[in-house]
Amino acid sequence: MEKSRDVWTISYLLNWTINYFKSKGIESARLDAEVLLSHVLGQKRIYLYVHFDEPMEAKELAKFREYVAKRARHIPVAYILGQREFMGLDFKVTKDTLIPRPDTEILVENTIAKVNENFGDKQSYDIVDIGTGSGAIILSLLKNLPKARGFTVDISANAVAVAKENAQNNNVSNTEFFAGDVEIVLDDLINNKGLKADVVMFDPPRKGLDKKSIDNILNIRPKKIVYISCNPATLIRDLADFENEYDIKTIIPVDMFPFTSHVECVATLQLK
């Protein structure tokens, strides 16, 4: 960025940044530049075009230069800003959590519809989220399903801390958080604390689910299962363990990581 330039207007700075990001191979150059600049200014993106000739202040330029340098190194915008909007809610994200993807909103919206269809007449129902990360999925569900109670598990204590903060910031109180090895925590919740889930969602690592967790899920017989998988081989292996008790309703590829060859699969299962 030309530090010697006397005046940087919003328009000039935005156009310069877009071209710079393109030169670095960033495909979402305009969107990223708009999001970063509007964040620095504390305004919505439309402000950049309404006030295009407004000069930037020195402290604003300094912060924006910092953001631009990070994005040029292909650090995701959400990690630069430490937040991401998802389902109309703001979520804190850190290096300990994945970034919620827009495509995942479709999964959440479909799950909300199915839960209302299956459990709308119940006074309350329980949703278990295994591998909760930032909490974007479970907290968005709970925000839209006031009769639901959430139970979340993640192996990372740091991720659980972020999810708790997101719950507080989004005024979601109908959930409990547990940190630890999924096999151990889930076994304790089911066999010692008497957890009975109506819906179970899990997003395991590439190795898939452990056998003990699968057996525990089969024992409590949730009416609906949502399996988010990053490895088709372990997905198929694990689904084979559920096929006697569950009908596989859908398996849908979801592009959670645009501009890469990585595609996740979302399988939905219904109790027979």
- List per-residue pLDDT tens for the chain, 272 residues long: 555 567 899 999 999 999 999 999 999 999 999 999 999 999 999 999 999 999 999 999 999 999 999 999 999 999 999 999 999 999 999 999 989 888 788 889 988 998 888 887 888 899 999 999 999 999 999 999 999 999 999 999 999 999 999 999 999 999 999 999 999 999 999 999 999 899 999 988 889 999 999 999 999 999 999 998 888 889 999 999 999 999 999 888 776 555 555 667 889 999 99
Query: Which pair of structure tokens corresponds to residue 182?
Result: 């999924």
| Separation of alpha carbons 267 and 242, rounded Å | 12
Q: For 237, phi and psi rounded to 5 degrees?
A: -60, -45
Strand partners, 269: 225, 248
Count the residues in the chain: 272
Instruction: List helix spans (H) across the chain.
Output: 10-23, 29-41, 47-50, 58-72, 77-81, 104-119, 136-144, 157-169, 182-191, 211-220, 232-242
| Separation of alpha carbons 96 and 133, rounded Å | 8
pTM for the model stands at: 0.85
What's residue 107's pLDDT? 85
Instruction: Say if residues 225 and 268 touch (Cβ distance below 8 Å).
Output: yes
Region of 110 please: left (phi>0), alpha (psi -120 to 50) or beta.
Answer: alpha
DSSP annotation of 172: -
Burial 55-74 (b: 16+ CB within 10 A, else e): ebeeebbebbeebbebbeee
What's residue 20's pLDDT? 96
What's residue 261's pLDDT? 55
Query: Which pair of structure tokens corresponds to residue 109?
Result: 């919206």
- Side-chain-side CA neighbours of residue 151 (13 Å): 18
What's residue 55's pLDDT? 94
What's residue 141's pLDDT? 95
Sequence-ordered list of residues with C-beta below 8 angstroms from that of 38, at least 6 positions apart, any chain: 44, 45, 47, 48
Instruction: Say if residues 32 and 75 touch (Cβ distance below 8 Å).
Output: no
Written as one letter, the residue type at 269 is: L
What's residue 5's pLDDT? 62
